Structure 1
Amino acid sequence: MNTPQPALENNQENYAANADGYFGTYGGSYLPDFLINPIAEVAAAYAEARQDPKFIEEYQALLKQYVGRPSLLYPAERLTAHCGGARIYLKREDLNHTGAHKINHCLGEALLAKHMGKTTLIAETGAGQHGVALATAAALVGLKCEIHMGRIDVEKQHPNVMRMKLLGATVVPVDFGGRSLKEAVDSAFARYAENYQEMFFAIGSVVGPNPYPTMVRDFQSIIGIEARAQHLETEGKLPDALVACVGGGSNAMGLFNAFLGDDVQIYGVEPAGKGLHTGEHAATMTLGTDGVLHGMFTKVLQSEDGEPAPVHSIASGLDYPGVGPQHAHLQQMQRVNYVSVDDAQTLDAFQTLCRLEGIIPALESSHAVAYGMQLASQLSPEQTIIINLSGRGDKDVDYVGGVLGI
């Protein structure tokens, strides 16, 4: 969006997409013929909207008056004392209306769809946060909403399924393949291809064909813009490190984007699942290879014949075999460090934040908390870390309780 950007050093343009949607060698638009024109229509509409003062004003007003922005940058003093190192700040996206960062881009996509004259929003969801946020945005602007969700995630995330239905959305369980996020995307795309005249595909992360990786990042960039200003006001300097979880990578790009030109260490945390050696993980940046998935050229966990591999994460929102192309580019440029934590570390971080700070985090966000705790213990008390707490854990409490036997 045309939101005022911070002064950046080190040539941030090196990290941006070109006119064809490529971040270096990653990105682009790899589509069947029947989707080329519909996606080109979205690209043209977004290019116009991002230069339209009225569109920007309407969007920013909703962020303030409806979402409740700016979200807090919270000094986690007890967690800091527990780790015994750098001071930890939490960017509290969990306090947004609907409980996660997803509402930031869902409102933007819903407004764009309405400006385009579409009647229905269609999307995939994993953990359900994108689905809830999109159903919320659809209700707000007066559009219909259809959400495709893997059967496994429908069963794990029952509260969010109920929220979507209460908000007026149609939830479509997906029962083929791995019955998780990748299949939900496939199912939603197939439905969109048949009905694109009235539907707007609202992709839930910085993935997919151009313009979605840039568009979703732009809508999420408010996270980093706020965090940068808040940290400067509080500490009088920039943070030493940023940490965010990475599945598709929208919350991470939202935080990272404002700091790419700064002398700040950046860490994207992937799910190691049951262990990188087990094959039951979703560590795309760590073990993936170049390939095409869902209309983009990016890093993909795939078999030798090029098919997406089965993936696993305790966090439904991270069990995706690909990643946003800008993340692949940032890794290639050695600007962002991509690391991983496993399910056990994630559960430990989940419980630690609950008991030390009175905050129940999403399992997705708990990956970032787990690595942030490790990192803080290795740094000095004069240094600071911002961890993006991308969502709240209400949706996960029943599942976690079952796993822990509570």
Structure 2
Amino acid sequence: MLGAPAEMQRLYRSMGLVAGSGAIPFTASVSFLRMPSPDSTLTLLALSLPSRALGFTREGDRYAAGYVARVQIRQGATLVRTIEATEQVRVPTFRETSRSDESIIWQQFVRLAPGRYTMSMSVKDESSIRNSSEEVSLEVPRLAPEGLSSPVPVYEAIPRQSVDSLPRILARPRATVVYGIDSVLAIYLDAVGPTPPASMQVRVVGDADIVGVDTLVTLPVRAGGRSGTVGILVNRLAVGINTVLVSAPGRPDTARTRILVSLGEDVPIGTFDEMIAYLRLFTNAERIRALREADLSARAAAWTTFLQETDPVPGTAEHEGIRDYFARIRNANVRFRDDAGAGWQSDRGTAFVALGDPDNIIDTGLLNPNERVRQQIWEYRELRIQLIFVDQTGFGRWRLSAQSRGDLDVAIRRKLGVR
């Protein structure tokens, strides 16, 4: 079934993003940049959707699809602006048509007077009746000459040269990076006008006030001010929702945006407590308890201690243990999705995430196709165990045998005891 999982929609909305309800799972962001007059604010609307949400057809040696993006902005009963765009998407391979990331991005700059609006956004697939829509309140700020524009997560950006021009940017509407896959998140900082700040303080704070980044960024001089991008190292950020805080020395304002450090599209982690729940197969109960029982003021220190104690290669910038563990969760959610609602929580997924790939798998159904009850035997030679999974129904829903369940519990405790 198409559509963003409800938990991912919840996360996106908690970040202040627009998450479409319906058959096409779109996500949209709104950012605000300065204009020559504070009576007008340059508003960037950026919307993304996965290519798998559209109906592609063969077109020569390519695949093509179309969609209609529509935005209406109202102030009370007055219709202020309508934007409707019919777009075509062409990709070279069939594989590109099934991507689930934000592979399609539509964006539009709009000039709006500061104030409160109602904005409705919708997307419709041109080849079918599938569509999605969402209506949200929109508060457009008044950006004074000393005010700061929104920090904008981007894929790429060419800064604007003056306050009355447009930056050439490709926005990142979901504001999401995947831990262990993405290495850097680019944030566009826009400081144009008569007295632009020479530098900006950039802080990234995760749940439980875990500070991942705190740095002073010098912005390059351009014709009409100082603008540029700052690259934030993903492996320094807490998993879940982080807040990017941007301020200029000597100025009262702080501009902010939220970003999500995800473990994958099907792993919805937004808070410190949710992250702890995912670590239950990574480390022992004592370390999990220390994280869970740390009060808010001590969580950042507890997390730092946890990373130091569990890092298999302390001399590198990346925590290879957590990187590989989360990669196994993503892998399990794909390989064992028919076994349970979340593949990593199934019996086979639990064994795979905790112990890794077995040295050998024996599938009795391959040896005897007529056998009514199939078995898979997973061999872990170093641990000296065999895990027996049974498919009683013939539909590929594998369950551990009673004896193997005890063996798996013992093996997990032994393995976690060394971390």
Q: Which has the higher strand share?
A: 2
TM-score bracket, normalised by the shorter chain, equals under 0.3
Higher helix share: 1
TM-score (norm 2): 0.27
Highest relative contact order (Cα 8 Å, sep 6+), 1 or 2? 1
Question: Normalised by the size of structure 1, how large is the TM-score?
Answer: 0.27
